[in-house]
Amino acid sequence: MGTLQTLTVHEIAEGLEQKTFSAREVLQDCLEQSKKIDPSLHAYMELLEEQAAAQAEAADERRARKAVLSSLDGVPIAVKDNFCMQDVRTTASSRMLDNYYPPYDATVVRLLREAGAVFIGKTNMDAFAHGSSTETSDFFTTSNPWDIGRLPGGSSGGSAAAVAADMTIGSIGSETAGSIRQPASWSGVTGLKPTYGRVSRYGLISMCSSTDSPGPITKDVRDSALILDILAGQDPHDSTTSPQPKGDYLACLGKPIKGVKIGLPKEYFVDEIEAGVKDAIMQAVATFKKLGAEIVEISLLDPKYSIAVYTIVQRSEVSSNLARLDGNRFGHKRTDFGDEAKNRVMLGTYTLSAGYYDAYYKKAQQVRTLIVDDFNQAFKTVDVIIAPTSPVVALPKGASEETAIFGELMDVLVEPSSMAGLPGLNVPCGFSKPKNGSVAMPVGMQIMGPQFSEELILQVGYAFEQATDWHTKKPQLSQE
């Protein structure tokens, strides 16, 4: 069996360029790995073997004709199952859409297609992205490649696990509040949640329209930069995308970070944070100091306020966004919604009801403004902010069932920046052995910046990655 699946996007691009191997060979290795490993991980909703083969072949032909489309041409990419892909089953891991074949491509899918990416498969997620574990997928739970008794995080858990287990070269996730960064953290990979409005939501099955942000999950920072370069930009189909020109996400990599002011918010290092997580972050702080960055202790609004704000705003929008699955179309009755979706619809319906709107939704939006202002204030004194991505390392399976708002608690450290629409990058920064676990699990650090500061956070993340080797660690995978 080959080992091409272990390479990064930029390594594959280079190998294809130098004709060291073909796109077909790369796909072959990824498929083999997937068939071997996925039965115990369940990262994929579906492997798109046949069409991926055709896409890889077309990529090889283009290369032979010297008509390469982009650095992603011929590179296998897994796509979260909430992105519509024309004529490919797109379920958002929900029973409600278990037989839904969209007649159109999401803009993210279209851009990747036009860039020549090979769609190796659709990945599992919490149904409709409602969760942080993949345990609320209406089909099956994905396992964490580092310990299959544990969760990969979510909602983009399948995309994160597929990358961590080398079942694809890169993947696409979507984040509403943590759904890229948190699974990337728990699965030990890199995940970039761009500024809200940087990447089009068109064709992404809406969860919380005012925060949903598509982004890459990859093996290193350069790969995330490469994929963001393809995805970023204004989309005439999505009025909430920004007209702001996209950055040069590759040129910023390798620039020194000497003098960059890094904020360390004390509210993000409270007692609830696992000791092993805190230690790893403090080690990262030491690394940044060595690189010449200036560490500044700052104070931000207690992230707990964001839980309330986020829960109300997101439930409200969910209750409306899911209304189109009204039982008349798509082949399922409304009673077929999973419990999590039903809970969210009920809560959101309540918070939007006459007489409650002002007390909940309106109030939440007002507090949201305060959160935005709070970050704006902070970014007057620092360039970026770092914090743990998750207060804990990956939890055992079943953990989400014990807590009603499990997702919100797991995402407490990413919710404030999500509500503010800020970009955030998760990079692996160490390992910590959980109390009841046998394997040390990955710890993730998030780097947050002001709106549209993707270049800066990628630069900082890349500098950290170059000074450490956490991102090169691979899980011990076993066939079940």
Residues serving a catalytic function are 80, 155, 179
Per-residue mark of binding to other proteins, 368-407 (x: CB under 8 A): ----------------------------------------
Scan for tokens 């839980």, then name that residue: 307
Going by DSSP bridges, is the β-strand pair 261-265/294-298 parallel, antiparallel, or unpaired? parallel
Asked if residue 59 binds other proteins (CB under 8 A), the reply is: no
Asked if residue 205 binds other proteins (CB under 8 A), the reply is: yes
Asked if residue 452 binds other proteins (CB under 8 A), the reply is: no
Scan for tokens 């997620």, then name that residue: 125
Residue 74 CB coordination number (10 Å): 32
Choices 33-41, 200-208, 380-388, 444-452; region in contact with other proteins by CB under 8 A: 200-208
Taking CB under 8 A as the criterion, the residue among 203, 247, 265, 407 binding other proteins is 203
Nearer to other proteins, 36 or 334 (CB): 334
Nearer to other proteins, 235 or 465 (CB): 235
CA-nearest of 361, 389, 357, 323 to 177 is 389
Between CA 194 and CA 213 the distance in angstroms is 7
Between CA 177 and CA 107 the distance in angstroms is 21
Report in angstroms how near the CB of residue 352 gets to other proteins at its nearest: 4
Main-chain dihedrals φ then ψ at residue 62, nearest 5 degrees? -60, -40
Contact 16, 64 (CB under 8 A): no
CA-nearest of 79, 158, 100 to 126 is 158
Taking CB under 8 A as the criterion, the residue among 87, 114, 140, 237 binding other proteins is 237
Nearer to other proteins, 144 or 179 (CB): 179
Asked if residue 357 binds other proteins (CB under 8 A), the reply is: yes
Nearer to other proteins, 35 or 362 (CB): 362
Choices 25-33, 181-189, 260-268, 353-361; region in contact with other proteins by CB under 8 A: 353-361
Asked if residue 26 binds other proteins (CB under 8 A), the reply is: no
Asked if residue 318 binds other proteins (CB under 8 A), the reply is: no
Asked if residue 333 binds other proteins (CB under 8 A), the reply is: no
Taking CB under 8 A as the criterion, the residue among 43, 47, 97, 228 binding other proteins is 97
CA-nearest of 467, 426, 432 to 444 is 426
Taking CB under 8 A as the criterion, the residue among 52, 56, 84, 420 binding other proteins is 84
Taking CB under 8 A as the criterion, the residue among 6, 244, 349, 468 binding other proteins is 349
Q: What stretch of H or E contains 112? A: helix 107-114
Report in angstroms how near the CB of residue 149 gets to other proteins at its nearest: 33
Between CA 132 and CA 151 the distance in angstroms is 9
Report in angstroms how near the CB of residue 181 gets to other proteins at its nearest: 21
Scan for tokens 């609320």, then name that residue: 136
Asked if residue 322 binds other proteins (CB under 8 A), the reply is: yes
Helices of type H across 294-356: 304-321, 339-352
Choices 232-240, 254-262, 400-408, 452-460; region in contact with other proteins by CB under 8 A: 232-240
Between CA 163 and CA 219 the distance in angstroms is 7
Asked if residue 243 binds other proteins (CB under 8 A), the reply is: no
Nearer to other proteins, 319 or 390 (CB): 319
Taking CB under 8 A as the criterion, the residue among 10, 110, 201, 315 binding other proteins is 201
Report in angstroms how near the CB of residue 105 gets to other proteins at its nearest: 10
Asked if residue 354 binds other proteins (CB under 8 A), the reply is: yes
Secondary structure class of 412 (helix, strand, coil) = coil
Secondary structure class of 217 (helix, strand, coil) = strand
Give Rg (Cα) of the chain. Answer: 21
CA-nearest of 117, 101, 145 to 23 is 117
Choices 35-43, 67-75, 80-88, 468-476; region in contact with other proteins by CB under 8 A: 80-88
DSSP string, 181-204: HHHHHHHT-EEEEPPTTTB--TTB
Beta-bridged to residue 170, according to DSSP, are 77
Nearer to other proteins, 188 or 203 (CB): 203
Choices 154-162, 179-187, 263-271, 321-329; region in contact with other proteins by CB under 8 A: 321-329
In the sheet with 294-298, reading across from the earlier edge strand, the strands are 44-47, 118-123, 76-80, 170-175, 213-218, 190-193, 424-432, 441-448, 384-388, 261-265, 294-298
Nearer to other proteins, 72 or 205 (CB): 205
Asked if residue 415 binds other proteins (CB under 8 A), the reply is: no
Asked if residue 206 binds other proteins (CB under 8 A), the reply is: yes
Between CA 365 and CA 375 the distance in angstroms is 16
Report in angstroms how near the CB of residue 331 gets to other proteins at its nearest: 13
Question: Which residues are at the interface with other proteins (CB under 8 A)?
Answer: 82-84, 90, 92, 97, 100, 102-104, 106, 201-206, 208-210, 236-240, 316-317, 319-320, 322-326, 328, 349, 352-354, 357, 361
